[in-house]
Structure 1
Amino acid sequence: MNMRFKSVFAVTALAIISLSTTIRAETAAPQAVDQVDIQQYAGKWYEIAHLPMYFQRKCVSNITAQYSLNADQTMRVLNSCRIANGELISSEGVAYSQNAGNSKLKVSFLPQGLRWIPFTKGHYWVLRVDPEYKVALVGGPSNKYLWILSREPQLDEATYQSYLETAKHYGYDVTKLIKLPH
């Protein structure tokens, strides 16, 4: 009986290891696109979905991001949303390019005088953007943050599912995505 238990345990352990290896093989580490045209990327984006994050905990609808190019080649970021009482709240930050293709940025929402503090900038990687800059998938080197953005308040289901597949490929848990109305 003991030998039989050991055999069943060994087969089960091998199956679990094999399954976990297969799951990992199907996903890849997040990769930013090679190039982002900052002029085309600038403008207003509507958030279609995001992974839960502390900074968006009060948002209940109308989440948008407005990007504009600053004279020093950084990007001004203005995020806004509606909260439960109907009030529009916003947060202004700056994004600094981290690569020649402008697809990996670091973003800070600290007051300007405190932005020099190390480890206070978040990763903002453009993981996918359509050729016309109408839809984008944004995340980072970890699977902690993810946003699906669109130039329009609604996104057709086929396009949404396509961007979900890209996120899944990069190992994001898309079952946790939050979609809020516009």
Structure 2
Amino acid sequence: MRALLLPLALAACIPSEVVSPLLSGYRDASVPIASKADFDPARFAGRWYEIARFPVPFQSDCAGAIAEYGPPEDGVLSVRNLCLDAEGRVTDSIEGAARPVGPGRLRVTLDGVPFAAPYWVLWTDEGYRTAVVGTPDGRAGWILNRAPTLPRDRRVAALEVLAFNGFAVEKLAWTEQE
């Protein structure tokens, strides 16, 4: 499974001018995109369940996913992404680091991947229970939640944030979490 995650991770890290012909984006590039200005990496640390994602090759064999961010050390968060099968069992994982490079903007490096990828936190609710993360070029995006299920009000808010930032919300794939 690690062999499947590596190409996905690589695809997420290649400069957009190289990947654009290979992958279709999920965001209208003419729409301005904004990251969370008051993003707090310490509050972002912890376990996040994938609620929805824009389909990407590196997660094609994942029925679900969990992202774990460790507490910041010298400003850098550790990252561990887990791929889950349909029964909720971990089938693969990859680790790395997320370095804040601006308000709500992380530069993610993953072990064995020679490039870093820009992951922008577009929104979290006030309690850091739900988050919307995307790449500025629109090749990837996720709705994450601290629990496996997402309340309706935060689901609506997350969809509004994605739409406001130019993402094609109708192309989201919803994850079934155990």
Query: Taking structure 1 as the reference length, what is the TM-score of the superposition?
Result: 0.74
Question: CA 1:47 to 1:107, structure 2 compared with 1: closer, same or farther past 3 Å?
Answer: same
RMSD: 2.0
Q: Does 1:134 align with 2:129?
A: yes
Q: Is the 8 A contact 1:58 1:84 kept in 2?
A: no
Q: Trace 1:1-182 onto structure 2 (pairs within 5 A).
A: 28-61=31-64, 63-83=65-85, 86-99=89-102, 101=103, 103-111=104-112, 117=114, 120-182=115-177
Distance 1:69 1:176 in 2: 32
Kindly provide the CA deviation profile for residues 58-83 of structure 1, in whole angstroms up to 9, marking residues without a partner as x: 1013x111001353321110110223
Per the TM alignment, residue 157 of structure 1 is displaced from its structure 2 partner at its CA by 2.3
Query: Taking structure 2 as the reference length, what is the TM-score of the superposition?
Result: 0.75
Per the TM alignment, residue 35 of structure 1 is displaced from its structure 2 partner at its CA by 2.0
Across the two proteins, how many residue pairs are aligned to each other? 148
Distance 2:117 2:42 in 1: 22
Distance 1:138 1:44 in 2: 14
- Structure with bigger helix share is 1
Name structure 1 gaps, 5 residues minimum.
1-23
Distance 2:146 2:105 in 1: 20
Structure 1 residue matching 2:98: 3-state secondary structure:
strand
Q: Is the 8 A contact 1:127 1:137 kept in 2?
A: yes
- Highest CA radius of gyration, 1 or 2? 1
Distance 1:83 1:147 in 2: 18
Q: Is the 8 A contact 1:43 1:67 kept in 2?
A: yes
Per the TM alignment, residue 84 of structure 1 is displaced from its structure 2 partner at its CA by 5.7
Q: Is the 8 A contact 2:94 2:111 kept in 1?
A: no
Structure 2 residue matching 1:128: 3-state secondary structure:
strand
Per the TM alignment, residue 110 of structure 1 is displaced from its structure 2 partner at its CA by 3.1
Distance 1:66 1:171 in 2: 27
Q: Is the 8 A contact 2:69 2:78 kept in 1?
A: yes
Kindly provide the CA deviation profile for residues 134-162 of structure 1, in whole angstroms up to 9, marking residues without a partner as x: 01111122222110011110002232122
Q: Is the 8 A contact 1:83 1:89 kept in 2?
A: no
What percentage of aligned pairs have identical amino acids? 32
Distance 2:85 2:147 in 1: 20
Distance 1:82 1:131 in 2: 28
Q: Give the structure, 1 or 2, with the largest relative contact order (CA under 8 Å, sep 6 or more).
A: 2
Question: CA 1:87 to 1:36, structure 2 compared with 1: closer, same or farther past 3 Å?
Answer: closer
